[in-house]
Amino acid sequence: MRLANGIVIDKEKTFGVLKFSALRREVHVQNEDGTVSEEIKERTYDLKCNTQGRMIQVSVPATVPLKDYDYNAEVELINPVADTVANANYRGADVDWYVKADDIVLKNKGNQNAGNPQNNNTQGQPKK
């Protein structure tokens, strides 16, 4: 059983400050014969979460470039969603939670939009 669209998350209340730790794993696409291909489906990263008081794992699509931020760099999730997977057992069901996001970006200091490559202004006055 899965939730249809997951649970949309209020980032500030749920995570507070997130700090980058490391790449946890890469999930590869499975071939028709059941063997593992070289194609990567998604990457899961470990992030330190002060509000949850523990490390959390967040998965992003493989179409997003590999993240190699400094350890403890403050990051932000783009469009995070929590979802579940439930497996029936003799007492009811076991439920596992997971978090997916469109991207993990460095948290900007100031009012710039996170992850916006168009906003590469340098400080100071423009040259005339």
User: Has residue 19 been placed in a domain?
Assistant: yes
Contacts 24+ apart (CB under 8 A), 36-41: none
Expressed as residue numbers, the domain containing 82 is 5-104
For residues 65 and 84, give the distance between their C-alpha atoms in angstroms, rounded to a whole number.
Answer: 25
Q: What is the mean pLDDT of the chain?
A: 83
For residues 44 and 58, give the distance between their C-alpha atoms in angstroms, rounded to a whole number.
Answer: 5
User: Has residue 119 been placed in a domain?
Assistant: no
For residues 18 and 103, give the distance between their C-alpha atoms in angstroms, rounded to a whole number.
Answer: 13
CATH number of domain containing 18:
2.40.50.390
Give the predicted TM-score (pTM) of the model: 0.74
Contact in structure between 60 and 100 (CB atoms under 8 Å): yes
pLDDT tens across the length of the chain (128 residues): 455 667 778 888 989 999 999 999 999 999 999 999 999 999 999 999 999 899 999 999 999 999 999 999 999 999 999 888 888 999 899 888 889 999 999 987 543 444 444 444 434 444 43
User: Has residue 113 been placed in a domain?
Assistant: no
Do you know the residue count of the chain? 128
Q: What is the pLDDT of residues 15-34, one digit of tens each?
A: 999 999 999 999 999 999 99
